Structure 1
Amino acid sequence: MLSPAFSRSLRLVPATGAMMLLAACASGGSATKPSPQVNQLYAQLDQASKGYETSVAQARAGNTQASQQTLDTSLNQLKTAAAHCPATPGCDPQRFFSAFDRLLRLKDGNFALGDDLVSMGDESPEGSESGKTGAASLPEAQRSVTLLRGQQLSQLIAMNGPVKAALEMWLTQWRGNLMDAYINYQFLRYQMWPEYQKQDLPEALLFGILAKESGGKVHAVSRSGAAGPLQFMYATGLRFGLNTEDGFDSRFDPAESARANAEYLDEQLKAFNNNLELTLAAYNGGEGRMRRLAGDDPSVSLYDPRIYNQLSQETRDYVPAVLAAAWLFLHPESYNLRFPRVDGAQGSVVLKRPASLTELTVCLGSAAGMSDGWFRTLRNLNPRLDPQVAQPTGVRIMVPKVLEKPYEARCTDGPWPILANDLHTAVLPVVPPSPPPAPPARTSNSGKTRSYVVRRGDTLTSIVNKVGCTSVQEVAEMNGLSHQHIKPGQSLKVPTCR
Structure 2
Amino acid sequence: MAPHAYFRSLRLAPLAGAIMLLAACASSGAAKPTAQASDLYAQLDQASKGYETAVAQARAGNTQASQKTLAAALDQLKVASAHCSSTPGCDPQRFFSVFDRLLRLKDSNFALGDDVDGMDDDPPEGSSGKSGAASLPEAQRSVTLLHGQQLSQLIAMNGPVKAALEMWLTQWRGNLMDAYVNYQFLRYQMWPEYQRQDLPEALLFGIMAKESGGKVHAVSRSGAAGPLQFMYATGLRFGLTTEDGFDSRFDPAASARANAEYMNEQLRAFNDNLELTLAAYNGGEGRMRRLVGDNTAVSLYDPVIYNQLSQETRDYVPAVLAAAWLFLHPESYNLRFPRVDGAQGSIVLSRPASLTELTVCLGSAGGMSDGWFRTLRNLNPRLDPQAAQPTGTRIIVPKLLERPYGARCVDGPWPILANDLHTAVLPVVPATPAPPPAPSRSSGSGKARSYTVRRGDTLTSIVNRLGCSSVQEVAEMNGLSQQHIKPGQTLKLPSCR
Q: Structure 2 length normalisation: TM-score?
A: 0.85
Partner of 1:179: 177
Partner of 1:451: none
- 1:202, distance to aligned residue in structure 2 (A): 0.3
Match of 1:157 among 148, 155, 158: 155
In structure 2, distance between residues paired with 1:464 and 1:115: 66
Partner of 1:304: 302
In structure 1, distance between residues paired with 2:448 and 2:351: 78
Partner of 1:61: 60
In structure 2, distance between residues paired with 1:10 and 1:114: 9
Partner of 1:413: 411
**Residues 425-434 or 204-213, more deviating:** 425-434
In structure 1, distance between residues paired with 2:468 and 2:192: 72
Q: Which amino acid aligns with 1:113?
A: D
Assess, with a 3 A threshold, how the Cα gap between structure 1 residues 2 and 58 changes in structure 2: closer, same or farther. farther
Partner of 2:204: 206
Aligned residues: 453
Partner of 1:283: 281
**Residues 108-117 or 258-267, more deviating:** 108-117
Partner of 2:442: none
Assess, with a 3 A threshold, how the Cα gap between structure 1 residues 313 and 457 changes in structure 2: closer, same or farther. closer
Assess, with a 3 A threshold, how the Cα gap between structure 1 residues 399 and 129 changes in structure 2: closer, same or farther. closer
Partner of 2:474: none
In structure 1, distance between residues paired with 2:133 and 2:18: 30
In structure 1, distance between residues paired with 2:200 and 2:343: 20
- Give the structure with higher Rg (CA): 1
1:294-330: CA deviations, max 9, x gaps? 1111111101100000000000000000000100110
Assess, with a 3 A threshold, how the Cα gap between structure 1 residues 114 and 366 changes in structure 2: closer, same or farther. farther
1:76-106: CA deviations, max 9, x gaps? 2112211211111110000000000000111
Partner of 1:262: 260
Assess, with a 3 A threshold, how the Cα gap between structure 1 residues 128 and 163 changes in structure 2: closer, same or farther. farther
- 1:429, distance to aligned residue in structure 2 (A): 1.0
1:427-481: CA deviations, max 9, x gaps? 111122335579999xxxxxxxxxxxx999489xx99983269699xxxxxxxxx
Assess, with a 3 A threshold, how the Cα gap between structure 1 residues 394 and 57 changes in structure 2: closer, same or farther. same
Partner of 1:491: none
8 Å contact from structure 2 (residues 40, 80) kept in 1? yes
8 Å contact from structure 2 (residues 16, 99) kept in 1? yes
Q: Which amino acid aligns with 1:15?
A: A
Match of 1:467 among 440, 464, 469: 464
Unaligned stretches of 5+ residues in structure 2? 440-445, 452-458, 470-495
In structure 1, distance between residues paired with 2:147 and 2:219: 31
Assess, with a 3 A threshold, how the Cα gap between structure 1 residues 30 and 387 changes in structure 2: closer, same or farther. closer
- 1:34, distance to aligned residue in structure 2 (A): 1.6
- 1:127, distance to aligned residue in structure 2 (A): 3.8
Partner of 2:96: 97
- 1:158, distance to aligned residue in structure 2 (A): 0.4
1:19-66: CA deviations, max 9, x gaps? 222333424314332222111110000000000111011111111110
8 Å contact from structure 2 (residues 146, 199) kept in 1? yes
Partner of 1:483: none
Secondary structure of the 1:306 match is helix
In structure 2, distance between residues paired with 1:118 and 1:255: 20
Match of 2:425 among 424, 427, 447: 427
Q: In the TM superposition, what are the counterparts of 1:86-125 in structure 2 within 5 Å?
A: 86-108=85-107, 110=110, 111-113=112-114, 116-117=117-118
Assess, with a 3 A threshold, how the Cα gap between structure 1 residues 81 and 411 changes in structure 2: closer, same or farther. same
8 Å contact from structure 1 (residues 357, 387) kept in 2? yes
8 Å contact from structure 1 (residues 118, 340) kept in 2? no
In structure 1, distance between residues paired with 2:395 and 2:98: 51
8 Å contact from structure 2 (residues 246, 382) kept in 1? yes
Secondary structure of the 1:344 match is coil
In structure 1, distance between residues paired with 2:238 and 2:400: 34
Q: In the TM superposition, what are the counterparts of 1:366-405 in structure 2 within 5 Å?
A: 366-405=364-403
8 Å contact from structure 1 (residues 135, 145) kept in 2? no
Assess, with a 3 A threshold, how the Cα gap between structure 1 residues 430 and 23 changes in structure 2: closer, same or farther. same
Q: Which amino acid aligns with 1:16?
A: P
Assess, with a 3 A threshold, how the Cα gap between structure 1 residues 439 and 96 changes in structure 2: closer, same or farther. farther
8 Å contact from structure 2 (residues 8, 114) kept in 1? no
Partner of 2:341: 343
Q: Which amino acid aligns with 1:379?
A: R
Partner of 2:350: 352
Q: In the TM superposition, what are the counterparts of 1:198-277 in structure 2 within 5 Å?
A: 198-277=196-275
Q: In the TM superposition, what are the counterparts of 1:17-36 in structure 2 within 5 Å?
A: 17-25=15-23, 26-36=25-35
